[in-house]
Chains A and B, each alone.
Chain A
Amino acid sequence: MQIAHIIGGIVSIVGSLFLLLGALGIVRMPDAYNRIQAGTKATTLGTLLFLAGIGIAEPGWLPKLAVLILFILFTNPVSSHVLARAAHHIGIALTSRTVADKLREHEEAARD
């Protein structure tokens, strides 16, 4: 019992470290799209590990935690995609380090 709590705690802490990295990524990245990248990936694994840690400490909650994990796995990428799509649609600029923007080329070609 005690050991399960300790292991669960460690897994949860690792998860929160990933969440911290995600937050740091949002501060450090140069433009909206790169921030979304950092925000999506780190928070998905971070939340997943955090919930898994709770599940290890309290096995009775595992089914509902599994539902939460599935919900996050399915909704997180969709929301990130929609944010990025909207950002590109209203013309938020990419950082100057960007090497190519095929979507804008594609749209300009379609307009001509």
Chain B
Amino acid sequence: MKNWVVSMILLFGLWLLLSADLAVPILIAGFIVVFLIVLLFSVRNPVFRDIKLGPKALAYIIIYPVVFLKALVMANFDVARRVLSPSLPIRPAIVEVRTILHSPIGRLMLANSITLTPGTLTVEIQGDSLFIHWIDASATDINGATESIVRGFEKYLEVIYG
């Protein structure tokens, strides 16, 4: 049920952005299309089944994009600095980190966020382990790497997706 409602809200938001029109016939058409899509796809793919909708989770859903955008901008200046400096200051490594997230959508968000932020790129996920290519590895052991790469996002994603 929760999966249906969240899917429909998201798809209807997408419809509103695409149509950019609030006329009643268009809204009704959008609702029918969204309903059919959710009916066809949500039964077998409960993507949002694990999402939490308590007040704290809702607040974090709003805060998370801000945290993420800040990390994205910092990532860009960081990579720009490395690319431009003549000595090319990189210390690359593939490190292993562990995640405490269980839901597939939570892990997807975590892996995507890691890929888009400072010098880290998710290479592989196996079980609870994420293998991450790190452009400037300050710690190659599993605990140190987990602490510096994953914690910042996991704090929010844990509340939202569990």
Contact = CB atoms under 8 A, between A and B. Distances in A.
Chain B: number of interface residues, binned into ranges: 35 or more
B76 interface: yes
A102 interface: yes
B73 A45 contact: yes
Contacts of A6: none
Contact of A40 (B82, B92, B96, B116): B116
Chain A: number of interface residues, binned into ranges: 35 or more
Contact of A94 (B92, B96, B124, B126): B92
Contacts, number: 133
A36 B122 CA distance: 11
B121 interface: yes
A37 B123 CA distance: 11
A18 B123 CA distance: 24
Contact of B17 (A37, A66, A88, A97): A66
Interface string B122-137: 1110100101010101
A94 B115 contact: no
Nearest to A67: B17
A9 interface: no
Interface string B60-102: 0000000000001101100110111000101111111000000
Contact of A84 (B82, B123, B135): B123
Contact of B92 (A64, A78, A80, A97): A97
A96 B93 CA distance: 10
A41 B75 contact: yes
Interface in B103-162: 111-113, 115-117, 119, 121-124, 126, 129, 131, 133, 135, 137, 140, 142
B36 to A, nearest CB: 20
Interface of A: 18, 21, 24-25, 28-31, 33-34, 36-38, 40-42, 44-45, 63-64, 66-67, 73-74, 76-78, 80-81, 84-85, 88, 94-95, 97-104, 106
Give the top 6 A-B pairs by smallest Cβ distance, nearest first: A77-B115, A100-B93, A103-B131, A77-B112, A25-B83, A100-B140
Interface of B: 14, 16-18, 20, 72-73, 75-76, 79-80, 82-84, 88, 90-96, 111-113, 115-117, 119, 121-124, 126, 129, 131, 133, 135, 137, 140, 142
